[in-house]
Structures are given as C-alpha cells and as structure tokens.
Structure 1
C-alpha cells in the first residue's frame, strides 16, 4: 500500500499549477482547502481574477495567533508539463514538476497540522497559514495580503524547501526588475543606413555599462537577462528593449545602485535615440536580525534533539520571507523537506526528509507556542 503522504504528493504534482494557470492553481487550492477543512480548519478564499485564488487557513480557536506560516501553490512550469513528465520515484527520490518547490512542503505542512489536531495540541490556536498563488512571479498580487496577516505576528515560518545539504535559509538578497526601452529611427541598412538611429546599438552600449555595475563581492548584481529589438536584418532598428534583474544584500545598497543605473541611462551613446528606464525593487532583502538569529538557534537546538545537523545558509534567490523579515518579524525560511534542482526537469525530493522535517517543524511550532 502506498504511503499516504506520497499518494497526496503524487496527486498534487500531477496537477499543473504554473503561476499564470489560474484553473490549475485553483484546483490545488481546492484540494488543500478540503484537506484542512477535514481536520477542522476554517478556509478563507481570497479571490483573484487573473491568477489563482489565495487561501487563509485558521483553526477555529485561533483568535490571536502569533505565528504566520507561508507557502505558495504556484510553480514555474507551463501547462502540459505534468502530463509530459508526471510524478515518479526512483530509490529515495521523488521527481516531477514542483515536487520540491513546493508541493512536498504542502504535504509536510498538512500532516503537521493533522498531527497537532489529532493530539488536541493547544498550539493550533497560535498559527495562521497563508497560501499564495503568485510567489514565482514576485508575489505582486499577494504581497499586501502577506503583510496584512504578518502584522502583529512574532514569528514567520516560510515553507520554501531546505537546500540540498538540509540547510535552512536565514538571509536572502533583495531583488528588482527593470525594463530599458530605447526608441531610435528606422532606415534601410543598404540604401540609406546613415539616416537610421539604431536602438539595438544604443542598447548594446547600455548593456555593457549596466553590467559594469556588478559588485559580486558585496552582494550586488545587475544582469541584463533578456533583450528584444529589430524587425528585419536589413533594417536599422527603431525599437529595442532590455530586461534587467537586480540583486542587493541590504537596503542601503539599493538606492545608490538605482541612481547609478539612472545615470547610465540619462545620456544616449547613439545620438538621436531616446531611453526610458522603468522598474522597482520587488522584494527587499531578508536580513538576519537578532530575533531571526534567535529563531534559527531554537530550530537548531530542536534539530540536535532529533539528531539532525541543521545548518543555515544565505541565498541570492527571493522568497516571501523578505516581506515578513522587512516588517521586523522573526523569520526562518527553508523549513520544507530537502531536495534540489528546483525549476528544472530534474527537480527532486529526498523522500526520507519528508518525515524528518515534519518532526522538526512540529516541535518548532510547539516550542514557539509555549
């Protein structure tokens, strides 16, 4: 007989739930809402028109919970991926789209709440669960919802997966996205190229200058990751666009970096072209505060009691932990099971870690509720 946790995981993984797949995300949300309602939780659906709905879950006796638990329901994979490469297991690993980021976390979290319900644990009064549908595209729609429910909380537990070595995450870089739009003048490249003002040429100059703003040693990175431009090979391009990813380790780094980007874009290198830079910081950095450090130390202490060697790590990737941390809430991320290769065809879960991290999570919630 199949392990019931893995049976639930298979069910979730085999449903496409990309960020823009409202139908698929809402199907995941419906399954999860039903599961939590079956153990006595109240499920509030926060409706969205274009993306999947969000879920707020509480035990009926949770009047003023001090712990917010955040997990996202969306993945990065397009519709049809689950059919092309459905859930499978090989040895101690499970594979499939979203298996570690973060459908295994949802399985782990549900069984943690189920255990606490079955044991009539009073700490259920101390938790509020927020499941959002757009984390993989920056939580643009759900950020305000997360911040609303994080207000007044003492602790934020974020269910992103643990790293490959089992580390939890205590620091993350902040991230921003910018768009560089350049307008030039079209001309035939064979008949009268001198009349053209190449937007692509101007973009090339700006790419080189923006990339020179990188300061990897201090955790600052600027990457022009996608470019667009031109119509035909024999036309001097009248339009070009560059999409820029920015990462910073602290808020003090952000404004000076943005000012440098603005300075780069103030003056065209190709006379006659026009430049517009738009964008903003999507997620602030997750900075390790004294409160967050104490939360990690508590988790590490509990892990030692369970014979788990728990380490912490810093990552450049973003998550919803940034929002709660920037509000001053003690935040710990990467509390899901262990796995790796997220967002790829080889994404995997280390199956034994599902129960191991389940026990760690239960005890952490219990200890925070004393």
Structure 2
C-alpha cells in the first residue's frame, strides 16, 4: 500500500470517530421549546369538547378500539417498501372510502386523498399520515403478538397513523359532525429516506388539490410532542470514477478510494469548526461508503452518501459549500499525484433536499395543538424534526406534526414494537386538533 494511501485512511478513521462524537454532543443539546398556552385557546378546546357531537365521537373512538387495532394490524402486514407503496395505498383507499369519505382518489405521486366536504369550503385542512416504511422489499412484516405488544417492521412508524386516520374519519361520519372547512385526510408516499418527501411535495405542487390552509401530520410517539419547526437537510451521493487496474501492474493510476478518503477528511475538519461556531445547530454525517472489487485491484469507483441538517437555510448552505470544496480539493490532489492514466472524475448527485423553516409558536394551529394536549392530560413539548411538515412550514403554511399515541419503540428496526396503551388518546388528539382548525359548522 502506498504511504499516501495509509495516511489518508488513518486520517479517515480518525475523522469518522470525531464526527460521531460531535454528533452525539450536539444531539444532547437539542431541547424542547417551552411556550405558554394562551387562555383563549384553552377555552376554545374546552368549549369544543363540550359539544354533544364531539362527546359522542370521543366515546365512539373508545368503542372502536378493537376495529382500530384490526385495521392497524391489517395495514402493517401489507408491505410498503420505498417507492412501492401501491398495494398498501389501494387497500387504504378502499378503507377510508368505507369509513365515510365523500370522495377518494390517488394523485400523480401515489398519495391517497379522501375528501370530507365542509359547509363553506372556504378553508382546506389536511390531516395526514405516511404510508411508506423504510424496509426493503421482501422484509417479513407479519405482526407478532407478545402479550399486548405488537412487533413488526413499520408497526409504529407510520402504520399506526393510518389506523388513526381511518378511525377519525369514521368518528366524524358516524356522529354526523360537519366541519366548516373542507377536510382532506391523506395517506402520503415517500416520507422516509430517499423518498425525499415526494408525496407531500406533490400535494403542494401544481398537481396537488389546490390551496392548503393548514397541515396536520401524524408521525411521532406518545401524545405530547409537537414538531412545529422543520429540520432541513441536503443529501448527496458522491462518486469518484477512474480507469481502475491491477494494484501492481497499473500502479500509478489515480485511486478513487484515495480521493474519497481525502474528501471525507477535508470536509469533516472544516465542518467540525463550522458546527462549533455560534449560531443555529448544524450537523453532518457520512452514512454509507462503497466501491472496489478486490484487495489487489485499484478501484474504478468509490462512492459515499452523506447527510447534513439544520433549521437555518444559511447554515445548511454553508456546510454544503464546505462539502463541495472538499470534494474538489480531493479530486485535484489525487489527479496531481498520479503518474499515469486518465484523471479521475467526480459525480455529485443531490438525493435529498428537505427545506427548513419554523412556525411561530403563537400561531393558532400550534396553540390549539398545545391546548389539546393539555386538555388530554399531557405536557405539550415543542420541537424540531424532519417530517412531512417541512414542506408546508417552508412555504409559510401553518403545520404541525403530532404523535400517534400509545407506546412504541425501535423505529426503523426489525424489532419495532407498539403497545396500545391508551392509544385512543392519540385519536382524540388528532380529532380535536382537526376540528379546532377546521371549525364545526353551525
């Protein structure tokens, strides 16, 4: 192995350790925001829960617990891998129509949209959960029962939300509640990973249902958490390419692995300084690396996938620029060092672009959500996250992401679990926030 290669890889190892340590420290600094609930919204929610139809809906939700769980299990056992949500979407469309939607359709991205018409329709409110999971095609998604706990990939994130949506629609329909605003209950595609929020992006495009006035996403844990700020992210797949050859016979060729190692090192060194500057929190990560064919071959390609995040568009752009500079510096140095063959090339593909932004915690939707959580006996905790709400928040549309209710854990793992511990409270929460925002027709 060439001396320069040993130096690069040793530096790469140190760099990765430094990145993980820094990320852990920054994660510990991210604390929920504390904001008081205005009395007017506390009074509004109290009045709403005194409505006879809402009282009936609350009781019906409790009575529907067995059906909700049955729906939850049924949908969990329909695979919805990335970019392949169609089978689950078809079944969810049938179920939401039966639950009481006025009309149901699938848009150009694959989102299932169910309309419940309002009295005036002058406002449009979305209640949404995502249909996709992170698990690849072929993953066993059969639900395993261990006592009262359900185990299956995707059983919590976000299949439970789909069961909540079905029960909310049925509760509205069976109790005769009519909202003033039009309500769209939506199962979206592409929330996870490289789906890059393609479903919700489509809702806010020219192919969407039209102007959206408020957005409520269900994608979290127990009742209490409220995501009202969007954590933006950029994700790249970066590939260095060269001719490749025998490790001895073609010695002197530019080595893509050397360039990749340099790029990671240069980025991490500068990014480490950048993240420690005063300002809005920003993070960075090299998540996946690959390339090469054998130990005695100079690789013809070397690639990595990276992720960087911040609430601040400016900070996100700053750490992105550091990555761009690091890649070009690494490319130049490796090409200058070679003694034969063609230059390396590099391809940088943006594979994820989630916009950032924030809602004022005093916005009516945020305050109504907080008041609802207090009414249900929990403590509202405002925070930041990377969810479907990023898109409406970035466009100035009031949006929150709320929890599914119940208890759960091990999201994105094969032993993900869900326990229906007062799970009905999560459905009460979704219904109350929706009705507070959409209004009950007089």
Q: Do both share a fold (TM > 0.5)?
A: yes
Residues 1-370 of structure 1 aligned to structure 2 (within 5 Å): 3-21=66-84, 25-38=85-98, 39-47=100-108, 53-61=110-118, 63-82=121-140, 86-123=142-179, 125-136=181-192, 137-139=194-196, 141-148=198-205, 149=208, 152-162=211-221, 166-193=224-251, 195-212=252-269, 213-214=271-272, 215-216=274-275, 218-267=280-329, 268-270=332-334, 271=336, 272-279=343-350, 282-290=353-361, 292=363, 294-315=364-385, 318-338=386-406, 339-370=408-439
State the 1:343 CA deviation.
0.7
Q: Distance in 1 between the 2:131 and 2:180 partners?
A: 22
Q: Distance in 2 between the 1:280 and 1:253 partners?
A: 19
Task: Kindly provide the CA deviation profile for residues 88-122 of structure 1, in whole angstroms up to 9, marking residues without a partner as x.
Answer: 33345322121111111111111111111111112
Task: Kindly provide the CA deviation profile for residues 199-258 of structure 1, in whole angstroms up to 9, marking residues without a partner as x.
Answer: 111111111112231455642222122122222211222321122112122112122222
Is 2:82–2:133's contact at 8 Å kept on the other side of the alignment? yes
Is 2:308–2:320's contact at 8 Å kept on the other side of the alignment? no
Distance 1:27 1:186, change over 3 A: closer
State the 1:358 CA deviation.
0.8
Q: Distance in 2 between the 1:286 and 1:348 partners?
A: 31
Task: Kindly provide the CA deviation profile for residues 242-286 of structure 1, in whole angstroms up to 9, marking residues without a partner as x.
Answer: 221121221121222222222222232212433343326511124
Task: Kindly provide the CA deviation profile for residues 152-192 of structure 1, in whole angstroms up to 9, marking residues without a partner as x.
Answer: 333210111226x8423222311111122213343432345
Task: Kindly provide the CA deviation profile for residues 3-39 of structure 1, in whole angstroms up to 9, marking residues without a partner as x.
Answer: 1211111111111111233xxx223222221222222
Is 2:201–2:391's contact at 8 Å kept on the other side of the alignment? no
State the 1:145 CA deviation.
1.9
Distance 1:298 1:185, change over 3 A: same
Count of matched residue pairs = 356
State the 1:2 CA deviation.
8.7
State the 1:150 CA deviation.
7.7
Distance 1:2 1:327, change over 3 A: closer
Task: Kindly provide the CA deviation profile for residues 43-64 of structure 1, in whole angstroms up to 9, marking residues without a partner as x.
Answer: 012255xxxx321110245744
Q: Distance in 1 between the 2:244 and 2:88 partners?
A: 49
SS in 2 for 1:142: helix
The runs of 5 or more residues in structure 1 that have no matched partner are none
Q: Distance in 2 between the 1:28 and 1:18 partners?
A: 10
The runs of 5 or more residues in structure 2 that have no matched partner are 1-63, 337-342
Task: Kindly provide the CA deviation profile for residues 277-300 of structure 1, in whole angstroms up to 9, marking residues without a partner as x.
Answer: 3326511124233555x4232222
Rg comparison, structure with higher value: 2
Is 2:151–2:417's contact at 8 Å kept on the other side of the alignment? yes
TM-score normalised over the length of structure 1: 0.87
State the 1:345 CA deviation.
1.8
Q: Distance in 2 between the 1:221 and 1:28 partners?
A: 34
